[in-house]
Amino acid sequence: FKVNRIGRAILAYERAQRLMPGDEDVASNLQFANLLKVDRETDGEFNSMARFGRWLVNLFSANLLSVVCSLCLFGIAGALIGRMFRPDPPLRPVWTGVSASLGVLLLLSGALLAFKVHAREVQQAAVVLAGEADGRSGPGDDNIKVFTLHEGTKVLIQRSEGGWHLVRLPSGIGGWVRTKDVEKI
């Protein structure tokens, strides 16, 4: 960031945010670096439910969700064992309630983990590192220029072909850019 390589700085902050999703310093540095880039993504394109979903997905890391799922499984097993060895009628609702609560938490955290893993595998996010990257209608310089992206713009890679990536912007616009102009987060 200090040597004015905004694209590299945004890439580093995006990677740091994946490792530490709740870190306020990383989030504020990323937000500040995004203010200095040429291309702006408008947040108004998403409704409030989509913004909430994006916030929820980014709130927890995949590692943390894996730990939560594992602890829920062990907790459910412990509650079931407790119910088997302490079948006293007054404690039966307690063991059942603990098992049910942990089961719901397991389903929610497991679904969120599955979504994060699937999203990471299907569409990989990348950041434009070149000063300018032309988006074309097909993979090759002989195709029509559709748009121009500038350093620091975040895109989603949908597929790759012969030194080119098919990328999509949050607005839905897509095109082919050179592989050397972008780097995966």
Amino acid 116: pLDDT = 81
Are the C-beta atoms of 13 and 28 separated by less than 8 Å?
no
**pLDDT, tens digit (0-9, with 9 covering 90-100), for 164-179:** 999 988 778 889 999 9
**pLDDT, tens digit (0-9, with 9 covering 90-100), for 39-67:** 776 554 556 777 787 777 778 888 888 99
124-128 sheet: strands from edge to edge: 145-150, 132-136, 174-178, 164-168, 154-161, 124-128, 182-184
3-state secondary structure of 21: coil
Mean pLDDT by 10 residues, the chain (185 residues): 87 88 86 84 62 76 88 90 77 82 92 82 81 90 91 90 89 89 90
Read off the tokens for 2: 């200090």
Bridge partners of 184? 126
Read off the tokens for 174: 């897509």
Helical segments of the chain, H only: 6-19, 24-35, 48-59, 62-85, 92-122
